[in-house]
A and B are shown apart, each in its own frame.
Chain A
Amino acid sequence: MAIAVQKPEKTDQVPRSAAPAAAGRRISRPMVVAAILVAWLVLFAVLRGRQTLTLAAADLTGLHRWLNDVNDSVGANRNSNPLFLYFFNEIRLVIDHLVTFVQSLISQPTGTRPVPQIGWLGVVGLTGYVCWAVGNWRVALLAVAGFTFLGLQGLWQQSMDTLALTVSAVLVALLIGIPLGVWAGLSDRFNRIMTPFLDFMQTMPTFVYLAPLTLIFLIGGASAVITTVIYAAPPAIRITAHAIRSVPETTVEAADSLGTTRRQQLLKVLLPMSKRTVVMGVNQTIMAALAMVTIAALIDAPGLGKTVVQALQSLDVGTAFNAGLAIVVMAIVLDRVTTAAAAREEATRRSGDRFLKWRMPLLAAGAAVSAVLVYLSHTYVWAAEFPGEGSTGSHIASAADTATTWMQDHLSGLTNGFRDAITNGLLNPFQTLLTDSPWWLVAAVLIGLGVVLGGWRAGVIATVCVGLLVATGLWSDSMTTLASSVVATVLVMLLGATFGVWMGRSRLVDRLVRPTLDAAQVMPPFVYLVPFLAMFGPSRFTAIVAAVVYAAPVAIKIIADGVRNVPETTVEAATSAGCNTWQIITKVQLPMARSALTLATNQGLIYVLSMVVVGGLVGAGALGYDVVAGFSRGELYGKGLAAGLAIVLLGVMFDRITQAAARRTRA
């Protein structure tokens, strides 16, 4: 109750301090920010350690207990509740059938048949053909090589299990996502309603809803697919909406003036014109689905994720790395193919029908060949089961083991020093400032920064988020997590600026570095966490490093694009004015890529927040640990859910502030 009473008072205070910034341009924004921070430090010195709202690891609040009860009552009533009998169970059945069908095609034996309907030769052939048909021959070659590599790794069956689940999940996600995306693209109101839900689906840690999902949809394919869909559908919805929105106004008006109906407009104008961007949405959905492979393994989803999780029970980094590499290979193949497909949409629209005459017969021939391959792999054992023992896989595993052992033996002295320097010099002071200040002081600072940087609306959102954070009962944990996340984001931005500028200025570097970035994004974190644990021990710093590995690629890619998009002529003008390279970077390229920098900060922080739970597994404590604990222990379930909510709130608050700030800098 105290929260509700104190909140309005706080909102009154903050605007007053921030008002001059908005009113007079004379006081610059950085000065106001500095003033807020100085005031914070002074008050911290006076009020340190008071009203910090700490909660011990095993303690619960009323809200947490209530959430526990809700969860228990769902479990107790699942067999009698009509919602279950007629709604959830039906959904489960449909999705279960879909998964079982796809699995019987490529990954699992059915009935008396000891192998799936289509063997490796058929899958490789068919994949190559489809990739060529929707993309080009280069990606087809890549796909064939990639899939054959999966077999050579000795992971054919697991890879196909993963592929089956991914295909099913992506199908369902697109079936839901594209229509919703079109709707959100057409209607502003619906878009506004959808956005918070999408934020929620993307930032709520999966661990929070994993256990309830198995209660609702049972353990098995359906739960795995639904978990994946929840995480993978939002990009499809967002990007489709964005695609529809970015069809030029004039084109739509032209169609209007021709007297098209709404339906015609959608089918003949909007959808065809946004096809390319929608395919990019499919791409992002596939990537998101692959990111869920290891998490779905925790509820018995078959595939590569299981291999990773099991190998790590005995700290077998080699085997885990081999399986992780298979996920990376699959992701890169699928990414390049969908990217090529998107580019093809563009190319076919531009080029005339020069190729069409050739294309049809070639397609038919390809279809015939792949049909033969499928038939062979259905009939003959040699084409059904991947031959060999997967010796490539064991070579990869032992090489990874050797590399890890070497790093652990030779680098650990160095790494501990680095960890202590960052922890004591940066993280600890900042965390103390956040956790030991009275909660209302930190809240006022957050809201004040929101108003100054993002404007009134961002201030209101910050106020709501801060209020809800207090209500979760996990204020202190949230501040600890916030401290680590901000430090991680700072490191991400340092890396992002360095590599982003380098890649943006040189095509060659871009081409060399990009595959590594892709790999860092899709490699399951636990694979590289074991070596990190060996080097840094279980600590908040280890969690920060893991978050940086995951989040830096995104920031680097965005900044590289931003730098590249600075007009050539501007750079040339600066060069001819006698600027040296350093000056061009700091005075021309980076300032002109400012909106890319803001976007990179935004995405960097969101990606860092999505690693909070992984951080909880390696010693970060706080919210991440709360979520993991809630997943593993029934009596802590409510607290885990509250921690998940707190992560969402932190994410939403920073997303809105940085976006508003980005709009202001552009204006």
Chain B
Amino acid sequence: MARHWRAGAAGLAVLGLTLTACSGAKVGDSSSAGSKSSGGKCGTFNLAVNPWVGYEADAAVVAYVAQHDLGCTVNKKDLKEEIAWQGFGTGEVDAVLENWGHDDLKKKYITGQKTAVEAGQTGNKGIIGWFVPPWLAKAHPDITDWKNLDKYAANFKTSESGGKGQLLDGDPSYVTNDAALVKNLKLDYKVVYAGSETALIQAFRTAEKNKQWVIGYFYEPQWFLSEVPLVKVNLPAYKTGCDADAAKVACDYPVYNLDKIVSAKFATSGSPAYDLVKKFNWTNDDQNAVAKYIAQDKMSPDAAAKKWVEANRDKVDAWLK
């Protein structure tokens, strides 16, 4: 019996080989191989991708340009802010493209460990604040003034807010003074921590659809605002220094000039990718366009970047000069 099977196997193998020997392209043929010709000059470029779509849009475009115009091998690494910054020191991360303030991290890694340096602004303006769904702003226009918030506190009550109005906060990594704000503005609200951006967006989405009362932390540029244009509530205007003491903050958030951070090593490496990162600059509308391709049109980041780059060649060329 054994001989039988062995013969059968050999026969099968030969059959298989002859059948396929003349069919199909071989791996490594120039026609089929994905041409990833890494130009010698640039080498690898480790780009951190923080977990929000706006950042992903930045990263997609910069990676696309670095790969196609500079011939870099781009490694995108999906990391949260804290871990990404940590990677500057270990050499695992070269650049962070969209930093929201984060004075704590700057202090630790730029002035403290000296493993990171600033690389200028992205051109995006970051706005943080309290937002309500559009139907609510339309039905009660005066709600956009913080002084009227207490009047509506009872409507914002939920099972979580312990009898007060609920102010919904999102991902804990976001810059927020909300608990202090509620206390210092003496509002009848309680900050409830949704714990993630997903939870926050879903809450606003449901609220707009079912005409529910929700007020919460949000920010722009953010792709979700093109789906549901949330309306910002005006807190006491921001003045320089009014947020100096985190416990005593009683004013709105400043407008953040989002900036880029690179590792100290990368900054002195002479890599053309560094020059690209340093010159990379675009508007909120640009970012929103790419973010929309990714989040709503469900394009892959690479395809989204390609579409934008092809439509905005002049802007890209300015970064490459």
Q: Is A590 an interface residue (CB 8 A)?
A: no
Asked if A215 meets B78 with Cβ closer than 8 Å, knowing A364-B6, A616-B195, the reply is no
Q: Can you list 16 A-B pairs with a CB-CB distance of less than 8 A? A: A57-B179, A114-B27, A214-B92, A314-B223, A314-B296, A314-B298, A319-B298, A361-B5, A361-B6, A364-B9, A367-B9, A373-B16, A380-B24, A381-B24, A381-B32, A635-B104
B179→A58 contact, CB < 8 A: yes
Q: Is the CB of A215 within 8 A of B90?
A: yes
Task: State the CA gap A658–B1 with chains docked (Å).
Answer: 58
- Whether B146 sits at the interface, judged by CB under 8 Å, is no
Mostly helix, strand, loop or mixed at chain A's interface? Answer: helix
B13, A371: Cβ atoms closer than 8 Å: yes
- Residue among A357, A383, A620, A633 facing the most chain B CB atoms (10 A cut-off): A633
- Interface residue? A179 (CB, 8 A): no
Could you tell me which A residues sit within 8 Å of B by CB distance? 56-58, 72, 75-76, 78, 112-115, 119, 210-211, 214-215, 218-220, 297-300, 306, 309-310, 312-316, 319, 357-358, 360-362, 364-365, 367-369, 371-373, 376, 378-384, 408, 412, 419-420, 423-424, 428, 526, 529-530, 533-534, 537-541, 616-621, 624-625, 628-629, 631-636
Q: Is B111 an interface residue (CB 8 A)?
A: no
A212 to chain B, nearest CB (A): 9
Give chain B residues whose Cβ lies under 8 Å from the Cβ of A382: 23-25
Measured between alpha carbons, how far is A315 from B172 in the docked complex, in Å?
18
Residues of B within 8 A of A319 (CB): 298
Min CB distance B183 to A, Å, is 9
Determine whether the beta carbon of A625 is less than 8 Å from that of B172: yes
Given A314-B295, A534-B206, A635-B104, A113–B28 Cβ distance below 8 Å? yes
* Shortest distance from the beta carbon of B81 to any chain A beta carbon, whole Å: 7
What residue of chain A has the Cβ atom nearest to residue B194's Cβ?
A538
Q: Given A114-B27, A300-B78, is A636 in contact with B87 using a C-beta cutoff of 8 Å?
A: no
Q: Pick from B12, B32, B80: contact of A369, CB below 8 A.
A: B12
Q: Mark B25-62, 1 if CB is under 8 A from A, else 0.
A: 11111001110100000000000000111001000000
Residues of A within 8 Å of B1, CB to CB, are 357-358, 361
- Comparing B124-132, B197-205, B260-268, B305-313, the segment that makes contact with chain A is B197-205
Q: A534 touching B16 by the CB < 8 A rule? A: no
Q: Which residues of B contact A219 (CB under 8 A)?
A: 77, 79, 83, 87, 90, 92-93
Please give me the residue from chain B that is nearest to A542 by CB atom: B199
Chain A hits for B92, CB < 8 A: 214, 218-220
Judging by beta carbons under 8 Å apart, are B172 and A383 in contact?
no
**In whole angstroms, what is the CA distance A299 to B168 when docked?**
27
Q: Are A214 and B86 in contact (CB under 8 A)?
A: yes
- Please determine whether B89 and A625 come into contact, CB atoms closer than 8 angstroms: no
Judge whether B225 is part of the interface by a CB distance below 8 angstroms. no
Besides A369-B12, A372-B13, 7 more A-B contacts (Cβ < 8 Å) are A306-B78, A309-B51, A367-B9, A368-B6, A372-B12, A378-B27, A538-B195
Bound: A631/B203 CA distance, A: 23
Residues of B within 8 A of A368 (CB): 6, 9-10, 12-13
Instruction: A210 to B78: give the CA distance in the assembly, Å.
Output: 14
Indicate whether B210 reaches chain A with its CB closer than 8 angstroms: yes
Question: Given A313-B56, A381-B27, is A297 in contact with B78 using a C-beta cutoff of 8 Å?
Answer: yes
Q: Are A313 and B12 neighbours in the complex by a CB distance under 8 Å?
A: no
- CB contacts (< 8 Å) of A378 on chain B: these are 27
Contacting residues, chain A, for B173 (C-beta < 8 A): 629, 632-633
